[in-house]
């Protein structure tokens, strides 16, 4: 079923907004890393990834209330189908675990190296998502949907 053209703009706007939110979180992660706030940098890196995942969902008008559902749907529809590599799926899972430990484990000690790695993963992921979203938006615009 064809979607009215107005819906594409709305979904495109949602996708672009979520990508910008991911970039803003990544910027915060870098600032926190430089301030030696490694646990908080891990948190913001994960949220950069999470919002990038949601940018893809936004292309199709999808939203998930729980992180578990958003990540699970992404893995099912984009990693398992190899639109995105299994390696990137693994990195998302690791980022989620590190964020959880950083936020909730009382005696968790986050290192600079770990926080740098999380920032790098978030940066890599945002670039991949942004490229994918641009391609999908271009295809949708080209099909006059």
Q: What's the pLDDT score for residue 115? A: 98
8, 141 Cβ separation under 8 angstroms: yes
- The two structure tokens encoding residue 72: 């699970």
Between CA 99 and CA 55 the distance in angstroms is: 20
Q: What is the pLDDT of residues 85-144, one digit of tens each?
A: 999 999 999 999 999 999 999 999 999 999 999 999 999 999 999 999 999 998 887 664
pLDDT in tens, 20-52: 999 999 999 999 999 999 999 999 999 999 999
Domain ranges of the chain: 5-142
Segment 44-101, tens digit of pLDDT: 999 999 999 999 999 988 889 899 999 999 999 999 999 999 999 999 999 999 999 9
**Better-scored residue on pLDDT, 1 or 104:** 104
Inter-axis angle of helices 67-74 and 38-59, nearest 10: 60
Q: Residue 7 pLDDT > 80, yes or no?
A: no
Are 118 and 42 in contact, with CB atoms under 8 Å apart?
yes
pLDDT given for residue 4 in this prediction: 45
3-state secondary structure of 119: helix
Name which of 31, 74, 68 is nearest 52 in CA terms.
74
Give the CATH class of 5-142: mainly alpha
Residue 78 per-residue DSSP state: I
């Amino acid at each position: 079923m064809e979607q009215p053209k107005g819906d594409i703009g709305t979904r495109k706007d949602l996708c672009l907004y979520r990508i910008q939110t991911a970039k803003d979180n990544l910027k915060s992660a870098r600032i926190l890393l430089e301030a030696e706030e490694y646990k908080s940098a891990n948190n913001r890196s994960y949220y950069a990834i999470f919002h990038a995942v949601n940018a893809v969902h936004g292309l199709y008008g999808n939203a998930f209330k729980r992180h578990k559902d958003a990540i699970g749907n992404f893995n099912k529809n984009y990693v398992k189908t190899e639109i995105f590599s299994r390696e990137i799926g693994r990195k998302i899972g690791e980022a989620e675990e590190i964020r959880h430990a950083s936020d909730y484990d009382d005696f968790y000690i986050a290192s600079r190296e770990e926080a740098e790695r999380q920032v790098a993963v978030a940066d890599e992921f945002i670039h991949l998502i942004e490229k994918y979203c641009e391609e999908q938006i271009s295809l949708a615009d080209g099909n006059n949907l």
